[in-house]
Amino acid sequence: MEEGLLIVLSGPAGSGKGTVSQLLLRSPDFAFSVSATTRAPRPGEVDGVNYHFITTADFEERIRRGELLEYTNYCGNYYGTLRREAEAILGSGRNLLLEIEVEGAANIKRLRPDAVLIMLLPPSFAVQEQRLRGRGTETEEKIRARLTRSREELDRLPIYDYIVYNRDDGAEACADDVRAIVRAERCSVRRNPDAEKKFFER
Ligand code: 5GP
């Protein structure tokens, strides 16, 4: 069976990654690898669905056991992709969606140069700040830390393959852009190295 694509979706806090991912996941072609984190759940978040919420000791034990494909420390908490979960999805032929920050994305690209890296951006920094405050899920201190972090995140833009802008209420348009990127990638010559051979053998 053909392996699914490994898609990394990153975006600064308030870019709307969560909403765009949810839209993509309505299709059985996409599956989401539930990450592990040491951060506390936000209201409405469910263990095993949004994240596996675990303790720092448990996370560090999993690092030692090599259970994480990649991990990082983001604003004081660990976040990481569980190797077993990610591999099971890819093996099933579905596209694996990793919603991770830039350091994790850089690590994935080193491990899997065929991964498609997509950066989701609000239309501007000013709009991002507005959206983040409007969400009301973080303290002022945490909002500031996330805004500072987003400047560093944009510095890593050159390692990404695509930018998708999330304009006002544009989550569905963003999901469409991601679906279009996946279709184009599947048609790309670099992903079909044996096309000539197949053409003449059929
Ligand atoms: P949040 O606390 O807002 O859910 O996530 C904070 C940041 O961590 C986001 O940029 C999110 O994409 C990223 N993140 C979530 N899971 C992972 C993961 O498994 N690995 C990495 N490297 N980043 C993650």
pLDDT in tens, 61-90: 999 999 999 999 998 999 999 999 999 999
Extract the residue ranges of the chain whose pLDDT is less than 70.
1, 169
Q: Is the CB of 9 under 6 A from ligand 1?
A: no
The model carries a pTM of 0.92
- The domain covering 6-191 belongs, at the CATH homologous superfamily level, to P-loop containing nucleotide triphosphate hydrolases (3.40.50.300)
State pLDDT tens for residues 120-131.
Answer: 999 999 998 888
- The CA-atom distances, in angstroms, between 162 and each of 9, 119, 178 are 10, 6, 9
7 vs 164: CA distance, rounded Å: 13
Q: Is the CB of 99 under 6 A from ligand 1?
A: yes
- Closest residue by CA, ligand 1 atom 10: 101
